[in-house]
Each structure stands twice: as C-alpha cells, then as structure tokens.
C-alpha cells in the first residue's frame, strides 16, 4: 500500500515495532536443546500478551492453512518452516526466525537468521553476507527508483561473495494484508521493474543459499528447502519508501530513530554506503 496519511504511516510503524519486538525476544531464546515448537509457542504467547495477532497462523495458500504463529526454518530450510516438537536445535545450527504480525489492521513482517551456539566460519559468513545484502538493497528503496534497483544491488552483493540468491521467493508490498503489490525480487536490472513511490510500504527480504539456488518443497507442503541440503539464510525488514533515506519500521527494541538505526547498522556491517537526507 502507499501510505498517504500520517496516520497510516503511524500504524505501519506501530505494527513494525511490535513485529521487531517479538522477533528480538524469540532470537534471544535460541539455544541448543530448544525445539522449534517451544519457540513457536513462546511466539504465540508473546503476541497474546502484546494484544496482537500472528499474520502467519491461518494464512491460506490454496487449500493449505499455515499452522504456526511464526516461520522457523533450520539449516537447509529456507523459509516457511513450521514449529515441530521433534525439531531440537543443536550447537552449530542456524535458524531463521520470521515474525509476521497484525496490529490495528496493519501488518509488520521481519526475519533474522541466528546461530545456535557457535557455527562454522563459512556459515557465519553466510549470515553476515545475507544481512549485508538486505541493507545494500533496502537503501535503494527510494522514491522514483524501481524494484530492479533493490534486486540488482542484493543479487550483486550476494553473488560477489560466492553465495546463491534464491529467485523462487520474493519480497513484497505490505499494508492491510501480508502480501501486496509490488513484488520485490532479490534480483533484477537497475532501472527495471515496478516504480517505487514515497510512502509505499514494502518488505525487503533476501533469501540466500550457500551454493545452489535450487529449491525443493518438504513433505509438509510449506517448508522450502535448499536442494543441496546446505545452510540457507534470510533477513527481512518492513520499510517505508522515502526520498532521501528509506525508513525501516521494524526497529528493534531500544531504537526509535530509523535513520540513526540504519547508520549504526551500516557502520556495524562496515558497508561503505552514504545516505543523503
């Protein structure tokens, strides 16, 4: 959607802040021995306490209904993993925690892949490059740019580092529903594709495989897996397109100023990107 009023922007911001708060709490719980079912139940409880709803649970795709509060995808699971009792996290795993909530009629959606204990240097690099690619892409979510400007930046960063960008799944517009136009692919050509406009609410979400971009579906009908069974990573923010600098709305707890957060993040990741405005 394109937020025309300050009120709409405030509601997207509120939904984003809540989605980020849930994500933060769940990521802090990740440790060896925890099952993805327990983590998902905790997510459901936190949402209940906050008076918000999951935008995943009950989500329909054809005749299938998504059963979990959150999407929890371990190792070679790329996206849309379901919390299950016998999936126990162990040292060296990675888990993508994807939290998507509805508050006051608006959706906030964000994801982070976190290590379980200590991971190998190559897996740590996969997480880092995927997070970097999110920021390299989202800084291009500017008025009058096109979705190809975002996608091209993401893809180049990932491929320059020798990893594989997934093309089967894309980011999306967001608003009163989870998936709106335009699609935000993590690949593309500069200057190509749908036009971005000031006030547009979008989700930028690179999904990156270690080696092959090929995807296969699990038997549960939801979980997407890396065909080569190597680890996969996923980072996502909900954003508002703007003129000088785009606005991240899924700000983690303790952060209130979107541009300050973005600047600190670019510094933390040592990304040489100048923001204007």
Cα–Cα distance, 238 to 107 (Å, whole number): 9
Per DSSP, 178 falls in state S
Per DSSP, 146 falls in state B
Give the shortest CB-82-to-ligand MF3 separation in angstroms: 9
Which residue number, 58 or 191, has a Cβ lying nearer to ligand MF3?
A: 58
Instruction: Choose which of 26, 40, 59, 103 interacts with ligand MF3 (CB under 6 A).
Output: 59
For residues 114 and 93, is the Cβ–Cβ distance under 8 A?
no
Cα–Cα distance, 192 to 195 (Å, whole number): 8
Binding of residue 40 to ligand MF3 (CB under 6 A):
no
Cα–Cα distance, 161 to 52 (Å, whole number): 39
Binding of residue 69 to ligand MF3 (CB under 6 A):
no
Which residue number, 109 or 266, has a Cβ lying nearer to ligand MF3?
A: 109
Instruction: Choose which of 80, 87, 102, 265 interacts with ligand MF3 (CB under 6 A).
Output: 80
Residues 87-106, interacting with ligand MF3 (CB under 6 A): 98, 100
Give the shortest CB-267-to-ligand MF3 separation in angstroms: 27
Which residue number, 179 or 198, has a Cβ lying nearer to Co ion?
A: 179
Residues constituting the chain = 277
Instruction: Choose which of 24, 76, 77, 109 interacts with Co ion (CB under 5 A).
Output: 109
DSSP bridge pairs for 27:
none
Give the shortest CB-260-to-ligand MF3 separation in angstroms: 25
The partner in contact with residue 103, picked from Co ion, ligand MF3, none with C-beta cut-offs of 5 to 8 angstroms by kind, is none
By rule CB under 5 A, what count of residues binds Co ion?
A: 2
**DSSP track, 190-245:** TT-SSBP-TTBEEEE--EEESS---EEE-TTSS-EEETT---EEE-BEEEE-BSSS
How many CB atoms within 10 Å of residue 170? 21
Binding of residue 203 to Co ion (CB under 5 A):
yes
Cα–Cα distance, 21 to 235 (Å, whole number): 15
Which residue number, 100 or 225, has a Cβ lying nearer to ligand MF3?
A: 100
Cα–Cα distance, 24 to 126 (Å, whole number): 20
Which residue number, 238 or 266, has a Cβ lying nearer to ligand MF3?
A: 238
Which residue number, 48 or 189, has a Cβ lying nearer to ligand MF3?
A: 48
Give the shortest CB-161-to-Co ion separation in angstroms: 23
CA triplet 56, 248, 231: central angle to 5 degrees?
A: 55
Per DSSP, 137 falls in state H
Per DSSP, 124 falls in state H
Give the shortest CB-99-to-ligand MF3 separation in angstroms: 8
Give the shortest CB-88-to-Co ion separation in angstroms: 26
Q: Applying CB under 5 A, which residues contact Co ion?
A: 109, 203
Q: Applying CB under 6 A, which residues contact ligand MF3?
A: 56, 59, 66, 71, 80, 98, 100, 109, 111
């Amino acid at each position: 959607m394109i937020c025309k009023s300050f009120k709409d922007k405030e509601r997207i911001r509120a939904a984003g802040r809540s989605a980020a708060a849930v994500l933060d709490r769940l990521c802090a719980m990740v440790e060896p021995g925890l099952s993805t079912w327990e983590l998902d139940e905790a997510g459901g409880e936190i949402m209940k306490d906050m008076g918000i709803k999951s935008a995943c649970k009950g989500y329909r795709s054809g005749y299938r209904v998504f059963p979990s509060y959150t999407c929890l995808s371990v190792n070679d699971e790329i996206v849309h993993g379901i919390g299950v009792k016998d999936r126990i996290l162990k040292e060296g795993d990675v888990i993508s925690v994807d939290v998507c909530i509805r508050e006051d009629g608006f959706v906030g959606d964000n994801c982070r892949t976190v290590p379980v204990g200590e991971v190998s240097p190559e897996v740590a690099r996969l997480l880092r490059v995927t997070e970097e690619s999110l920021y390299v892409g989202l800084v291009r979510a500017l008025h009058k740019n096109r979705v190809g400007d975002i996608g091209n930046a993401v893809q180049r960063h990932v491929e320059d580092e020798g990893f594989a960008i997934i093309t089967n799944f894309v980011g999306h517009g967001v608003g009163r529903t989870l998936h709106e136009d335009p699609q935000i692919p993590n690949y593309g050509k500069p200057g190509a594709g749908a036009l971005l406009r000031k006030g547009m609410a979008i989700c930028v979400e690179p999904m990156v495989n270690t080696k092959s971009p090929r995807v296969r579906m699990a038997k549960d009908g939801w979980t997407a897996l890396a065909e080569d069974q190597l680890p996969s990573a996923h980072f996502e923010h909900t954003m508002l397109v703007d003129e000088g600098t785009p606005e991240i709305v899924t700000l983690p707890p303790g952060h209130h100023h979107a541009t300050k957060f973005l600047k600190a993040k670019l510094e933390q990741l040592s990304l040489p990107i100048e923001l204007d405005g």
